[in-house]
Amino acid sequence: MNPIFLLTPSDRGPVLKIREQNLSSALLISLEITELTPLVGKEELVAKGQKIASDPQNKLPSVHSSVSGKVLDVKKDFILIEEEGERVAAPLTLDNSDSSSMLSYLREAGIDVSGLKQGCTLIINTVPAEAGIDGHRFLIEEFNQIMSEGLDFLKEALSPKASAIAVPQGMSWTLPGCTGHEIKPVYPNGLAPMVVKAVTGKEMPSGVSVIDAATLYRIGRTVHGKQPVTEIMVKVGNTLFQAPVGTTVKLLTSKAGFKLSDGDRVVLGGPLSGRAVYSLNHGIPADTQGVTVIAGSNTPVAKDSPCLGCGECVIKCPARLMPNMISRHAEFGLFENTQAYFIASCFECGLCAYWCTAQRPLLQYIRLAKKELFSKPILEDLRK
């Protein structure tokens, strides 16, 4: 088995707490706030847990300062905060009268609740999304109580039909009130659509909400402490960090022992589905579970070469699609045609582009086509 695809959680090592490290300077928190409106200005003093950016449309989770400090800079994409003082923001007020206000409470606390539906089947996914992104093992084994508190809150807010926990094979993780399901720890089985299939037996059914273990922990912590969670578990290489949200990847990678040079990639998440950052000063967002460093090489990962028709992508695709044909159409801007090849079933695991002999950017083309189709008015589609 290729270790890239092995999702068995690794043994628990010590947790490195960034706040307790002997840093030469005060912590500089660089928060990513893309598409959100900043609520603070330059030179302003912020408290730990204070809301510093929010979505005017009330869809995306808000962003909170993870330290008490002074805002050094506010840019389009970043808020830079230097640690200073010991201020703590007032606790969040919880109105648990009805479900939607409970969910908006979570969103205000910085948790993405867009996938949670009333009366759904709730699935707690504890399978690592990718090899090595297994920092939540520590949370499940140490903070089971907090997580069940979070689960109770979710149950009250969503009143789910049933709740289940998906665990990687061989792990004895449980949560009270959840039926356990063992998942074969091989990529892409840890991705939400595959977990849903393994638990419910159906492919992409409606009325199923998946929430991963780290997010459940954050919910529990929020409900328990009435404060947004500003310290998260991040796995960088083989080291597990407890770090404030917004800690720069520069600090994390250097503490984890990586020496970065030109051409390397720093990816939030795993190498197959993560997001590469452009600057080492990039702060980690609250939903980060791992940072992957990929050494640069002279040969590019993807090339602009023609499809050979070898069929490797078709055989490796867990969604039974034809990435070769989708990419051939997307390449020439024929995005409409990709619907005939069921592009909507793609859950972007990245295996097609990983295996492509011609090194074509298959997933990249699929994402491009999806984006173009999404931006099309919905009416046009219904008229057919």
Partner 1 sequence: MKPISGSPVLTVSSAPHIHCGRTIKGTSLEMLLALLPAAAFAIWHSNILAFRVLALSCVVAVITEAICLHLMKREIESDNYTALLCGLMFGFLMSPCSPWWLITAGSSFSIILGKMVFGGLGGGPLCAPLVGWAICKVSWPELMDFDMTMLGSELTYPLSQLKNFGPETLSQYPLKSLLLGFQLGGSGAAQSGAILLGGLYLLSRKIIRPDIPFAFIAGVALTAATFYAISPLDYASPIYHLLCGSTLFGAFFLATDSSSSPVGHIPMIAYGFTAGILVIIIRVYGVYPDGVPFAILLANLASPLFEKIRPTPFGGITNIHLQR
Q: Hey, which residues between 117 and 146 contact partner 1 (CB under 8 A)?
A: none
- Asked whether position 333 contacts partner 1 by CB under 8 A, the answer is no
Please report how close the Cβ of residue 281 comes to partner 1 at its closest, in angstroms: 8
Please report how close the Cβ of residue 175 comes to partner 1 at its closest, in angstroms: 27
User: Judged by CB under 8 A, which of 29, 109, 266, 284 binds partner 1?
Assistant: 266
Q: Which tokens sit at 26?
A: 């005060």
Instruction: Give the 3-state secondary structure of residue 323.
Output: helix
Query: Angle 213-225/144-158 helices, nearest 10 degrees?
Result: 90
Please report how close the Cβ of residue 15 comes to partner 1 at its closest, in angstroms: 26
Residues 6 or more apart whose CB falls under 8 angstroms from that of 86 comprise 68
Q: Which tokens sit at 168?
A: 């990687």
- Give whichever of 125 and 230 is closer to partner 1, judged by the CB atom: 125
User: Judged by CB under 8 A, which of 17, 21, 203, 207 binds partner 1?
Assistant: 203
Determine contact, residues 236/72, Cβ cutoff 8 Å.
Answer: no
CB-hemisphere CA count at 13 Å for 168? 25
Q: With CB under 8 A as the contact rule, which of the stretches 10-18, 207-215, 232-240, 298-306 interacts with partner 1?
A: 298-306
Give the closest residue to 189 by CA, choosing from 23, 347, 384. 347
Please report how close the Cβ of residue 155 comes to partner 1 at its closest, in angstroms: 26
Please report how close the Cβ of residue 113 comes to partner 1 at its closest, in angstroms: 17
- Asked whether position 311 contacts partner 1 by CB under 8 A, the answer is yes
- Give whichever of 243 and 307 is closer to partner 1, judged by the CB atom: 307
Instruction: Give the 3-state secondary structure of residue 357.
Output: coil
User: Judged by CB under 8 A, which of 40, 281, 287, 337 binds partner 1?
Assistant: 281
Q: Which tokens sit at 271?
A: 């190498």
- Give whichever of 194 and 216 is closer to partner 1, judged by the CB atom: 194
User: Judged by CB under 8 A, which of 36, 175, 243, 267 binds partner 1?
Assistant: 267
Edge-first strand listing for the sheet containing 290-294: 15-17, 239-244, 231-236, 290-294, 265-268, 275-276
- Asked whether position 339 contacts partner 1 by CB under 8 A, the answer is yes
Interface positions, 41-70, toward partner 1 (CB under 8 A): none
Please report how close the Cβ of residue 276 comes to partner 1 at its closest, in angstroms: 5
- Give whichever of 85 and 296 is closer to partner 1, judged by the CB atom: 296
Q: With CB under 8 A as the contact rule, which of the stretches 26-34, 90-98, 234-242, 258-266 interacts with partner 1?
A: 258-266
- Give whichever of 151 and 366 is closer to partner 1, judged by the CB atom: 366
**Interatomic CA distance for residues 184 and 168, integer angstroms:** 6
- Asked whether position 310 contacts partner 1 by CB under 8 A, the answer is yes
Determine contact, residues 330/339, Cβ cutoff 8 Å.
Answer: no
Q: Which tokens sit at 293?
A: 């460093």
**For 48-90, where are the E strands, in sequence order?**
51-54, 63-64, 69-74, 78-83
User: Judged by CB under 8 A, which of 8, 301, 331, 337 binds partner 1?
Assistant: 301
Q: With CB under 8 A as the contact rule, which of the stretches 44-52, 76-84, 164-172, 297-305 interacts with partner 1?
A: 297-305
Site size toward partner 1, by CB under 8 A: 71
Determine contact, residues 208/123, Cβ cutoff 8 Å.
Answer: yes
Interface positions, 1-40, toward partner 1 (CB under 8 A): 4
**Interatomic CA distance for residues 266 and 259, integer angstroms:** 12
Interface positions, 154-193, toward partner 1 (CB under 8 A): 193
- Give whichever of 88 and 308 is closer to partner 1, judged by the CB atom: 308
- Asked whether position 334 contacts partner 1 by CB under 8 A, the answer is no
CA distances 284 to 76, 78, 269, 290, 372, Å, are 16, 11, 10, 9, 28
